[in-house]
Amino acid sequence: MPAKIRVFVSSTMDDLANEREAVVEVIKSLNFEPVNTEGILPNGGTSWDVLEPEIRTSLICILIQGERYGWIPMGGYGADKGKSVTHLEIDVAQDQGIPILPFFKKLKYGADSTSDDAILRDKFRKEIADWKSGLFRTEFNLASDLRGKVFQALLDVFTSSYLRTAVETQVSKIAAQSPVELTSASRAPPTPPRDAAAPPEVLFAGAGLSLSAGYPSANALAGVVGQALGLDSDQTSRHSLAQLFEVAETTLGRARSLSIVGELLNPPLPVEPTLAHVAAVQRFPIILTTNYDRLFEHACEMLAIPYAVRTPGDYVKGDAKPAVTIFKIDGSMDRPTTLVLSTADADRARMDRLFWVAVEDVLKTSRPIVIGHSMRDANSLSLMNGRNRKIKGIYVAPTIDPIDGRLLLERLNLEGVECSASDYLWKTPP
């Protein structure tokens, strides 16, 4: 089972290069996985042998149809069908029941309509337009126009819509064909050598860990909120999440705002703890996180590790003698009233002095291991600035921006380590 929602991009290549690039960017911005010919590595088989399994294991297909019908193979798969490669790709998606989102580029005035390619193009377009079920086709002019339309269309994955239902159906099919084995819970990560005099470690985990597990991005959350407010993607992008939620609570109400978050954190593709989560709950007795989700709690439950959760404005929940205590700085999805969404929520959270004193006490005596966190929000920076900076911490990221290295890591006394969260937590100790 894939960790992220896989979206196959089908179109002719050379004439729609800009459009394909725009669509791939949108897919990535939602934390979905783009499946496109440019990104598929050859494995020694024929091009169709490589391509077809990628289509079959996708959960959504985006069709971009331009002025050309496309190349018709004269040998190999499809040679006897008289169809373009794009048409063959769509046939596979239809055969698998994969939901298809068609986007037609508006034809210029006087565009070719008499050549063999143009006749086949128009016939293909009519075939798609005549589909009796599924989603309506959408037209676009430019790649920038297409970008916004694809973004809005893909947001329906998170709502009670045809697209979500269709994706859930595909997830069930794939799950039945390849059951998931949670082998990561059966072993423990290597324990790094410890100096008895060294300060204890505390994990400070950010959105990167949730994204690697498959949860939607902040862009997706902002998009759904903006959609509920009647904003297009450009209007939404001009405002922070806190601003969007502030307006949402005023116009839609608190209950609807919370339900939007609930929809996002309950995607059609089940999200499971990653190897990094499994390693973290075995290595760190205290975890600080800005994530709403329950992946650390789930990892503890998988491993039968007693744990407790603390959030601002809420009491300790969990075992009386926890092996792991999880401080959820921005609240927890299973207790919606604790979620920090707007500026007013942040003000309310700051009033729980007992919670913040407990967090500050941890950071006074512990060595922070920062993973999956950009460290750019004011709350996290305040905590890290107020910690005992005589203790050198660790900042783990796949790549570390030179500006981060100069302005962030040096100032906060953090040592940068370029690798993935799983590699860092599971690496063999020196």
Q: Over the stretch 26-68, which tens digit does the pLDDT of each residue have?
A: 999 999 999 988 877 555 456 888 899 999 999 999 999 999 9
Architecture of the domain made up of 6-172: 3-Layer(aba) Sandwich (3.40)
Is domain 183-211+273-426 given the CATH code 3.40.50 in the classification?
A: yes
- Tell which residue, 201, 199, 198, 207, has the closest CA to residue 380: 207
Rounded Cα–Cα distance for residues 169 and 179 (Å): 15
In the prediction, which pLDDT does 178 show? 67
Given a contact cutoff of 8 angstroms between Cβ atoms, the answer to whether 167 and 5 are in contact is yes
Query: What pairing do the DSSP bridges indicate for beta strands 317-318 and 307-310?
Result: antiparallel
In the prediction, which pLDDT does 316 show? 62
Rounded Cα–Cα distance for residues 27 and 23 (Å): 6
Given a contact cutoff of 8 angstroms between Cβ atoms, the answer to whether 355 and 312 are in contact is yes
Q: Which residues of the chain have pLDDT under 50?
A: 44, 182-183, 428, 430
In the prediction, which pLDDT does 49 show? 86
In the prediction, which pLDDT does 204 show? 98
- CA distances 17 to 14, 36, 64, 284, Å, are 5, 11, 11, 47
In the prediction, which pLDDT does 430 show? 36
State the span(s) of the chain assigned CATH 3.40.50.10140: 6-172
3-state secondary structure the chain: CCCCCEEEEECCCHHHHHHHHHHHHHHHHCCCEEECHHHCCCCCCCHHHHHHHHHHCCCEEEEEECCCCCCCCCCCCCCCCCCCHHHHHHHHHHHHCCCEEEEEECCCCCCCCCCHHHHHHHHHHHHHHCCCCCCCCEEECCHHHHHHHHHHHHHHHHCCCHHHHHHHHHHHHHHHHCCCCCHHHHCCCCCCCCCCCCCCEEEEECHHHHHHHCCCCHHHHHHHHHHHCCCCHHHHHCCCHHHHHHHHHHHCCHHHHHHHHHHHCCCCCCCCCCHHHHHHHHHCCEEEECCCCCHHHHHHHHCCCCEEEECCCCCCEECCCCCEEEEECCCECCEHHHCCCCHHHHHHHHCCHHHHHHHHHHHHHCEEEEECCCCCCHHHHHHHHHCCCCCCEEEEECCCCHHHHHHHHHHHCEEEEECCHHHHHHCCCC
